Structure 1
Amino acid sequence: MKVKKQYFGDLAGETVWQWTMINDHGMKMSVLNYGAIVTSVETIDKFGEFANISLGFTKLEDYLAYSPYFGAVVGPVAGRITKGQFNLDGNRFQLSRNDGANSLHGGKGNFSKRMWDVTVEEQPDQIVMTFYYQWADGENGYPGKIDTKMMYTLNNKNEWIINYEAETEKPTIYNPSNHIYFNLTGDAGSTVLGHQLMVNSERFIPVDDGTLPIGEIRPVKDSIFDLQAAREIAEITSSDDEQIKIVGAGLDHAFILKHENEHPDAVLFETTSGRCIEMETTSESVVIYTANSLSSKFEIDKKPVPKYAGITMETQGLVDAINQPGFGDIVLRPGETFKANTTFRFTVDRRNI
């Protein structure tokens, strides 16, 4: 195991650094202190070739100009909050709005736009990067100072583990996630339409044309949302299901996870490369987004990035839970510690070489 640190850019008088963690099998992860952004994840395919399987840029300027949260931590609350408003303990709070009338991923200047303090610990079988940020009381309208700690671990099992922790001095809401986009072909100019996706879930959250929950929890049975057996992404995006069409012909939905022992919560597989990701999390749900809004407005590796160029697995509590009865509790109170863990396990199917 080893780690390298290099200059990535300057932002408002602060240096943006990139750390590259490398395990004993040659897997690499590169991460910034800006937004805790994962700029690349390099894994091997069944032919022995390494490639970056995440969408990301090589220049800070591109993250500032274009990035739709590529590889970044988002929060304090991931997803949309209706009108950026919520009630807590009899008080009404207004958050900054950055998605029309709504607040998205924490509002303007959310976690993905902040400079994080970073420490790095090299251990025999893993490298642990720990990120710290203190969210000020009232920042973006959120009540309470939030002391945030997050760890990215790369180990010799070819796992990327995310550990989230947070504490607050006042009652607040907290529900972060990581917004990494995967494309297992290793080619950002291609799509994920040929990928196979399995999600171990019997229920999902339908949305309206603003991608806000309509307040229902629906069974996936007998619908295109039944991913308990793997489906090809192209089958999903071409469905005439109204919920698929309403978000731009794809997925942008939360699936409530079953959390069965010895079963991953989700699996993403690409046949040609043999690359596979198994995801396990302690979070209640995963938001699957098939990059329906990308439209070749920017390039990666001199290739226009098309619609469906990547797919996310954003693990979190249910979207807009603070405003939706029956969607669970995302309130964090003094004396409590928020904790959540997510593991992405990278494997290769070497059959049919």
Structure 2
Amino acid sequence: MSELQPNTGATAIQQPWGTAQGGQALFLCTLQLLGGMRAELTNYGALLVRLLAPDRKGTLEDVVLGHDRPEPYFDHAQSPFFGATVGRCANRIAGGQFSLLGHNYSLARNNGPNALHGGEQGFDQQVWDVRTYLGPDGPCAEFSRLSPDGEEGYPGNLAVQVTYTLTQDQALRIDYEATTDAPTPVNLTHHSYWNLSGDVREDILGHQLTVFADGITPVDASLIPTGSIQPVEGTPFDFREPHPIGEAIDRENEQLRFAGGYDHNFVLRGGPELKPAATLYHATTGRELQVLTTEPGLQVYSGNFLDGQISGKGGRRYGYRSAICLEPQHFPDSPNQPHFPSVILEPGQRFTSRTVYAFKTRGAG
């Protein structure tokens, strides 16, 4: 166990947390701000287990779905990417295949006819190396691993590092880096399920959502992008101004019908700079989550496949639409859609990406 305590009173603690199926040691890393937020992470899947954020009265509550022990995370039926680092290539790839430099690559078809989130044993199912330390902006947990050539069908040896920092201004910052020895698709994201009420018995339909996007990439019936960009104006996807998530989610609309709600990539405004992607607000508690990213897209998923069968932290069942995912990333199926922003990383290049989940509170009303 290591502990680092600066003058600010922030701490980073790393403790044993059982073993993986292959016998590797698992750790729970706790990043804490003095009198403020706390993040708990594990080196299984480089995932976020728990995030305690204050409401307008200063009461800390957990605002992400997950489990109290590691074993349920080993099974996608019990942990559909709760809090996970997703890769090597996030989101869906049509037909579980892509071509690169004249070679065809086959991936696991783990989502109907398509590949999803890196495969059956993607980054969320891997044991990462981990260290905790005090960074200049706050306590950090740094996860790293080498994804070997051929893992889940992807070419090239990919060295990956994911660093979570709990910053003094009440934000969880995630920095990604990767290098490769052969051309390969790389699309990494964070897959927490958010419920700002702190009580998963309450669904997220009353949360107010803003998305800084003028278009989406519409999908076909298997949720693969058609290749076009559809303006959000006049559709249930228009969150340019804040709206309750549930306001139009059950409206008659082909895109909503295909996904059973929201499960779509929004095309964010701006370039590769750190920029606003979304704001989520829960009026009762006053919690506001601001999402910023350097990525071009944001996948918004409204928990449509949660059905009450999963028992999570404290034995609470995770019901229909009891959380929302806000996943900054490149567009789905990018390896097969050359006019989308490229996800191909070349030898000699360094992949970098940053996502920030920043918390604030608002007064009553």
State the TM bucket, normalised to the shorter chain: over 0.9
Structure 1 residue 124, shift from structure 2 partner: 6.2
Per the alignment, do residues 106 and 347 of structure 1 end up closer, same or farther by CA in structure 2, a change over 3 Å counting? same
How many correspondences in the alignment?
A: 351
5 Å-filtered alignment, 1:185-224, equals 185-224=197-236
Structure 1 counterpart of 2:357, which letter? Answer: F
| RMSD value, Cα | 1.5
SS in 2 for 1:234: helix
Q: Aligned residue for 2:54?
A: 44
Q: Which runs of 5+ in 2 are unaligned?
A: 1-9
1:9 aligns to 2:18 (yes or no) = yes
Q: Does 1:258 align with 2:248?
A: no
Evaluate the alpha carbon distance shift between residue 23 and residue 211 of structure 1 in structure 2; reply closer, same or farther with a 3 A threshold.
same
What does 1:118-267 align with in structure 2 at a 5 Å threshold?
118-123=130-135, 125-248=137-260, 250-259=261-270, 264-267=276-279
CA shift, 1:139, in A, is 1.2
1:297 matches 2:306: no
Structure 1: runs of 5+ lacking an equivalent: none
Shift, 1:262, TM fit: 9.8
Q: Which amino acid aligns with 2:24?
A: E
Query: Is the alpha carbon distance of 1:56 and 1:341 closer, same or farther for their aligned partners in structure 2, counting shifts above 3 Å?
Result: same
What corresponds to 2:345 in structure 1? 332
Partner of 1:18: 28
- Aligned equivalents of 1:25, 1:263: Cα separation in 2: 28
TM-score w.r.t. structure 1 length? Answer: 0.96
Aligned counterpart, 2:321: 308
Cα-to-partner distance string for 1:186-227 (whole Å, 9 max, x where unaligned): 012221011000001011011122111122211111111111
User: Which amino acid in structure 2 is aligned with residue 111 of structure 1?
Assistant: F
Q: Secondary structure at the match of 1:265?
A: strand
Counterpart AA for 2:333: D
Question: 1:190 touches 1:305 (CA, 8 Å); kept in 2?
Answer: no
Distance 1:48 1:91 in 2: 55
User: For the residues of structure 1 that align with 2:51 and 2:337, how far apart are their CA atoms?
Assistant: 35
Q: For residues 35 and 251 of structure 2, what CA distance do their matches in structure 1 show? A: 40
Matching residue of 1:269 = 281
Greater shift after overlay, 56-65 or 165-174?
A: 56-65
State yes or no: 1:114 paired with 2:104.
Answer: no
Q: Distance in 2 between matches of 1:271 and 1:295?
A: 25
1:79 aligns with 2:91: yes
Q: Matched residues in 2 for 1:239 and 1:262: separation?
A: 33
How far apart are the structure 2 equivalents of 1:101 and 1:263? 34
| Shift, 1:97, TM fit | 2.3
CA contact (8 A) 2:216 2:265 kept: yes
Taking the aligned partners of 1:263 and 1:198, their CA distance within structure 2 comes to 14
The one-letter amino acid of 2:30's match is T
Q: Secondary structure at the match of 1:17?
A: strand
1:8-34, CA deviations, whole angstroms, 9 ceiling, x for partnerless residues? Answer: 221121121101110124200000000
Aligned sequence identity (%): 35
Following TM superposition, by how much is the alpha carbon of 1:263 offset from its aligned partner in structure 2, in angstroms? 6.6
1:302: Cα distance to partner? 2.5
Measure the CA separation in 2 of the matches of 1:197 and 1:122.
Answer: 33
Separation of aligned partners in 2, 1:163 and 1:282: 10
Deviation at 1:292, TM superposition (A): 0.2
Q: CA-to-partner distance for each residue in 1:283-336, whole Å, 9 max, x for gaps?
A: 000000001000000223222210111111111111101112421211111010
Deviation larger for 285-294 or 4-13 = 4-13
Matched residues in 2 for 1:320 and 1:123: separation?
A: 36
Asked if the contact 1:24–1:156 (Cα under 8 Å) also holds between the matched residues in 2, the reply is no
